[in-house]
Structure 1
Amino acid sequence: MSGAVSSNVPSRSKSTARVVYKELVGIFYIFVVIGINLQLHHKLRNILVKLFSLTKTLFLSFFTVVVLSTSAFAFTELDGTKTTIEDQIGDGKWTVLEIWASDCHACREHMPEMVEFDGKMNKVRLLGVSLDGQAGKAQAEGMIKDFDIPFKTILSNVIEMNAWMELNAKESLRGTPTFMVFSPDGELVGLNPGVLSIAALEKFISSRDVETTANDS
């Protein structure tokens, strides 16, 4: 019959359904490709993270061996003589190390307590590490004079102190003051960013001292 729709020609609804089906299949394939790419990107990201971590470790090792061994970046005494933190700890005494800077307000507020704490406990020495460095030696000496600091202070800077902490404490320097406690055999047993009360220091050292004595007996 003239004008009749042939049975082998799809109706509009069937044609639309096929188009929608093809579009859905296309979208599905797009998601599959994206999923594969995301997995590849995830694996690539993990590889890059591992490479970054390895590079960081190698850099810190290089920094410690090469850079810290030079006079420009070594820990120094106030007179400029090279030294290390390891030279200042151990020898049968607990060591409380405070990292401070002359322009640190919290350090200045807390320093009178540290001065009062010095010599209060048997077999406990205090050690200051000023981040003013040799370049800011005058400022460091000014703070030592202002508070009449009786315990030893050595000089460092943010870069070398952070490198030392990354390698030995597995933590970055977060700011000043920062406290570290070393056992009588020179082992780092405590680290605290921020102001630390004398009472907390006494309690921590006393408890660890009891544990050490008990283990030795």
Structure 2
Amino acid sequence: MRVDHLSWLLLACLATAACKRDTAPVLPAPVDAPVAQSATPAAAPAHIDETTTAKAKEMPSLRVTTVDGNTFDLADQRGKWTVVNFWATWCGPCLQEMPELSALDAMREYIVVVGLAYEDTTVEEMRAFLEKHPVVYPIALLDVYDPPADFDTPRGLPMTVLVGPDGKVVKTITGPVTAHDLETAIAAAGGPKAG
């Protein structure tokens, strides 16, 4: 009996050490997430159609309530180029790109920007933050444990997804992005040229 107790204690210590060694994620992970994952992706559950899932990521849906109480629906943006920007208030590069994204949204009537704040905060705290860092585009708070299903979970911030006028994903950019980068991507995908 004593050996079993010591074995259990040793396993608990090893598990704790492994957790401490591996707890430097870029973004918070769910509390009930497994410590180790298999290198081989698991097969999709029988009730999920992989073709449908692939099409959803190709033509994602997104409907969120913004911090000003309005609804942003990606489907309503058809005919325009939509910039979906995942960001956080604690992310320096995110803050640096916000004024440029705001100017892009204001200056180009064929471009719409939406900011998805990927952090655990309240609407009131976000409103206070936006008073100090105003933008013209809508901002919505995301649940970091339940991000939009049709978009890849950000592995780092900022992450920007460019959606074309047809509702299809044109490009995903991880890391800081400029208005020039986005306008170049739009022109390369057949949209208007910058300038």
The TM-score, its normalising length taken from structure 2, stands at 0.60
Aligned match for 2:82, one of 87, 95, 101? 95
Q: Which has the higher contact order (CA 8 A, sep 6+)?
A: 2
Matched ranges for 1:96-175 at <5 A:
96-132=83-119, 135-161=121-147, 163-166=149-152, 172-175=153-156
Hey, what does 2:168 align to over in structure 1? 187
Aligned AA (2:110):
K
User: Is 1:199–2:180 an aligned residue pair?
Assistant: yes
Q: Gaps spanning 5+ residues in structure 2: where?
A: 1-37, 49-62
Q: CA deviation at 1:78?
A: 2.1
Aligned AA (2:164):
S
In 2, Cα distance between equivalents of 1:139 and 1:93: 31
Aligned AA (1:201):
L
Q: CA deviation at 1:123?
A: 1.0
- The one-character-per-residue Cα deviations of 1:172-198 (angstroms, maximum 9, x if unpaired) are 411211100001121111100110121
Hey, what does 1:53 align to over in structure 2? 42
In the alignment, is the contact (CA less than 8 A) between 1:181 and 1:189 conserved in 2?
A: yes
In the alignment, is the contact (CA less than 8 A) between 1:96 and 1:124 conserved in 2?
A: yes
Aligned AA (1:77):
T
| Alignment: residue pair count | 141
In 1, Cα distance between equivalents of 2:191 and 2:93: 31
Aligned AA (1:206):
A
Aligned AA (2:135):
I
Cα separation, partners in 2 of 1:53 and 1:121, compared to 1, 3 Å:
same
In the alignment, is the contact (CA less than 8 A) between 2:102 and 2:113 conserved in 1?
A: no
Aligned AA (1:145):
E
Hey, what does 1:21 align to over in structure 2? none
RMSD of Structure 2 on Structure 1 (CA): 3.1
* Secondary structure in structure 1 of the residue aligned to 2:146: helix
Q: CA deviation at 1:165?
A: 2.2
Hey, what does 1:35 align to over in structure 2? none
* Secondary structure in structure 1 of the residue aligned to 2:156: coil
Instruction: After the TM superposition, list the runs of 4 or more consecutive aligned residues in structure 1 that deviate by more than 6 angstroms.
Output: none
* Secondary structure in structure 1 of the residue aligned to 2:45: helix
Q: Percent identity?
A: 23
Aligned AA (1:112):
P
Cα separation, partners in 2 of 1:75 and 1:123, compared to 1, 3 Å:
closer
Q: CA deviation at 1:76?
A: 3.1
Structure with the largest fraction of helix: 1
Q: CA deviation at 1:111?
A: 1.3
- The one-character-per-residue Cα deviations of 1:65-123 (angstroms, maximum 9, x if unpaired) are xxxxxxxxx84332667x675445x3211101111111212211221222222222231
Which structure is larger by alpha-carbon Rg, 1 or 2? 1
In the alignment, is the contact (CA less than 8 A) between 1:97 and 1:127 conserved in 2?
A: yes
The TM-score, its normalising length taken from structure 1, stands at 0.54
Aligned AA (1:186):
G
Q: Gaps spanning 5+ residues in structure 1: where?
A: 1-47, 62-73, 167-171, 212-217
